[in-house]
Structures are given as C-alpha cells and as structure tokens.
Amino acid sequence: MPMFDEKNETMPRAELEKLQSERLSALIKRVYDKVPHYRDQMDANGVKPSDIKGVGDLSKLPFTYKDDLRKTYPFGMFTVALEDVVRVHASSGTTGKPTVVGYTQGDIKTWAGLMARSIAAAGGTKKDMVHNAYGYGLFTGGLGAHYGGEALGATVIPVSGGNTKRQIMLMQDFGSTVLLSTPSYALNIAEVMAEMGVDPRSLKLKVGIFGAEPWSDNMREEIEKKLDLVALNIYGLSEVMGPGVSMECLEGRNGLHIFEDHFIAEIIDPETGQQLPYGETGELVFTTITKEAFPVVRYRTKDITRLMPEPCKCGRTHVRMDRIQGRTDDMLIIRGVNLFPTQIEHVLMGIEEVEPHYMLVVDRKGSLDTIEVQVEVSEEVFSDEVKVLEALSKRIQGEIKDLLGVSCSVKLVEPKTIARSEGKAQRVIDNRKI
C-alpha cells in the first residue's frame, strides 16, 4: 500500500528518537513560558525546562489530567493567542464542563496529514469515496476525518451520524468505498441494511475505519462478515488531537501505528505512575510534540493497552499499540474482579448467532455486586423449547465465568430492545449506590 508520508512513516528508529527529543525539549520550553499551569506544575516538582534534553527525561515531568483541562476551562491551556486559533473542539461534558481544545492553521494541516496517513494505511487513495459517518460538530471525529480525506485527495461524503436508511441509499448511489464510523454504528448500519434487504456485496465498500470506542476482535469479525469489508482500528482523542493519533495498517491488521514523529506514547502503571516496559499492559499516556495551539505533556488518556515494538510487515517504523482493552474509568470491579465491557463483548461475539447488541446492568444486592448481561434473542437462537433457551443462558454464563472469572446472570430480551448506537454505544448501566 502506498503511504501518504513514506519518509516520516518509515524513518529509522534512531533518527525518529532524535527528532522526538529535539521536539520534546523545544515543547517543554514553550509550555513553561506560555502556560501557567505547566510552569506551576514543573516548579512544584522541581523540574526546569533545561532538565528535559530528550525522550529519556520524560518521566521527570508531571502528568496532565483531564481535570487540569477542566480547571483551565475554556482556553487556559492554549499556548498561542486566540487570534491564531482557527478552530476549537470540545469533548462531551457529561461529568462537568467540557474540555476545550484549539487548533492553529498549522495544527489543522498536521492533523489532516495524519488522518490522510491513516486512510492511506487502510488502502485508501484519491480514487476513493470516503463515507464519513462520524458525527460533525464539537466532537473531533467528523471534521478530523473529513479534512484527512480531502488532504488525501479522496471524495468525502460528509454524511455524519444518524438517518441510517439515507446513509445506505447514499452508499448505493454514490458508491462509497471507505466507511468511517464508530464500530457500534457500523453494526447498526449492517442491521438496517439487512432489514432493507440490501446485500452488502452489492455495495462498493471495501474497508471500514472504526474508532472512538473500545471494541473487540470478535466484533471486528462480525462487522466484516455483515458489511463485507475489511475492518480496521483507528485511535485518537480530542485532548491529543482527534482521530489519526494511531492507525492500524491493512498489511499488519494487528495493532495501531502511533505517529511518533508527532506524539510520544508511554505506558504507565495507573496506580503508581511508573513507566512500564514495552509489552506490558497499562494506561496510555501521550505527549504531543508538534501541536501549536494546544500541546499536552504526559496526558493521562485513561485508556488501557500495551505497546508492541516489533517491526511490522508494512514497513512503518512507528511503534504499534494494541487495541484498547478498556478504560481505567469504565473498568467495572465486580466482587473484586476487574472487568471491562469489551471482555464480555468478546465472549458474546464468540458464541455463534448471539447478536452483537448487549447491555450490562450492574447492581448491588446487599453487599454483593451483581452483573446482568442482557442479550437479544434472534431468530437464529430462538426455540419453542424452554430448555434450549435456558441452555443458551447457561452457556453464556459458563463462558463468562470460565474466561473472566465472574459469575453473572443472563437475561434474554426481545430483539431491538437494546438501544442502537448512532455514535458511541452505551453498554453499561451501573445501578450501584456506593
């Protein structure tokens, strides 16, 4: 597959690390000068900008938390004058004020370039019809992917999320070849397509670039089967940039290349904050080394993954991150066992004919946490005999217990009763009053 930026994407590691070190030390000088928050934090930790000579000095720097961004709401972390900011995005403010991020003209160009790299890594070229079903608006998904598609020279359909029947009509009429959406919305599209009697093989879709929520490998297979395309994983978050921070390549399909000429990734132990070696699982932390308006230093993403340093067959030298296993804050602790919704999803998708829609209801009965897994009964699993359905419930219970070590109850529910996603899927209802 032709790369969008081969020189930078295949830069030898030694050269890449040198570049990162130069950019890091320049960044730290700049944020120390321009952003009171960083200056105060560094002073409090006794770190001077001159202490940061390279990537090896990263661990001397304090972390940045989402809460820091809220405290400086809305523009307190910007390093340039507002007149040089050409766009802002904001993340959902379900737990308080939103976090606001800003971009200069240069940032928008960088971002578009990285997103173009991502689409190219999926095999996209200027000949493609990019169907962008990420939401447009304050969320970075829509516009981020949009500018990337244009930078690549592809034709972008800015369809945004929702109105699924119309999306399918446009796919048919315009000949969409590349689909960008959340994985849960891709499944929703597949389902509506089946209802409409549209055969996915009659469409031109060849690849899907899915992200913005954690998903499992079994869900990937499900999407690939139902939409007749190759499903790839993309990662990004507004605080770091937006989509296009890392992207899986079509050749490797195993882990997402982090565009390390722009971002430095670390994996840390979320409890102690200690850096962990390559291969170990922990919290992903990012430092942006080229962003102008809104750089972040050691930003705690709360996403759980590991870094994979092995060379990839695509030829990119940039380190890969494994798919996100979950988030430190949606990790459920059920009777002392750590559990991510994606792990349950993986088990469910592994059971043939179980629908990919599920809901986890967590509750506390007395002093005991309970988890109920709601699964829709499709025609494939339905039987007129009670014992067949009870056997299905027991099988799901047994596999979750075997693989995850948690006892749960399984509730079979009628089809279409679990809300369908038009963006990020809601998978957990936690009724515990703690």
Partner 1 sequence: MKVEQISVFLENKSGRLAEVTDLLARADINLRALSLADTSDFGILRLIVRDTEKAKAVLKEGGFTVGKTEVLAVEVPDRPGGMAGILSALGAKEVNVEYMYAFVHRSGENAVIIFRFDDLDRAIGALKEKGIRILTGEEVCAL
Coil vs helix vs strand at 293: coil
Q: Does residue 413 interact with partner 1 by CB under 8 A? A: yes
129-132, strands of its sheet edge to edge = 155-157, 129-132, 178-181, 207-210, 230-237, 242-248, 256-258, 320-321, 307-308
Least distance to partner 1 from the beta carbon of 379, Å? 6
Question: Would you count residue 310 as binding partner 1 (CB under 8 A)?
Answer: no
Instruction: Tell me how far, at minimum, the Cβ of 404 lies from partner 1, in Å.
Output: 22
CB nearer to partner 1: pick between 35 and 392: 392
Instruction: State the nearest-atom distance from the C-beta of 384 to partner 1, in Å.
Output: 4
Indicate the residue among 13 and 416 with the shorter CB distance to partner 1. Answer: 416
Q: What is the C-alpha separation between 74 and 71, in angstroms, rounded? A: 8
Q: Which of 50, 105, 417, 431 binds partner 1 (CB under 8 A)?
A: 417
Q: Which DSSP string corresponds to 156-214?
A: EE---S--HHHHHHHIIIII--EEEE-HHHHHHHHHHHHHHT--GGGS---EEEE-SS-
Residue reference for tokens 């897994």: 373
User: How far apart (Å, rounded) are the C-alpha atoms in residues 115 and 100?
Assistant: 20
199 versus 385: smaller Cβ distance to partner 1: 385
Q: Could you give the string, one character per residue 238-277, with x where binding to partner 1 holds by CB under 8 A and - elsewhere?
A: ----------------------------------------
Nearest approach in angstroms of CB 383 to partner 1 is 7
Q: Give yes or no for residue 398 binding partner 1 (CB under 8 A).
A: no
Binding map of partner 1 across residues 366-395, x = CB under 8 A, - = no contact: -----------xxx--xxxxx--xx--x--
| Buried-state track 412-432, b at ≥16 Cβ within 10 A, e below 16 | beeeeebeebbbbbebeeeee
Total binding residues for partner 1 by CB under 8 A? 18
Nearest distance, CB of residue 347 and partner 1, angstroms: 19
Shortest Å, Cβ 169 to partner 1: 22
Q: Does 352 bind partner 1 (CB under 8 A)?
A: no
**Reduced to 3 states, what is the DSSP secondary structure of residue 64?**
strand
* 416 is a contact residue toward partner 1 (CB under 8 A): yes
**Per-residue burial over 364-389, b = 16 or more CB atoms within 10 Å of its CB, e = otherwise:** eeeeebbbebbbbbeeebeeeeeeee
Least Å distance, CB 400 to partner 1, is: 17
- Are the C-beta atoms of residues 111 and 145 closer than 8 Å to each other? no
Site residues (vs partner 1, CB under 8 A): 377-379, 382-386, 389-390, 393, 411-417
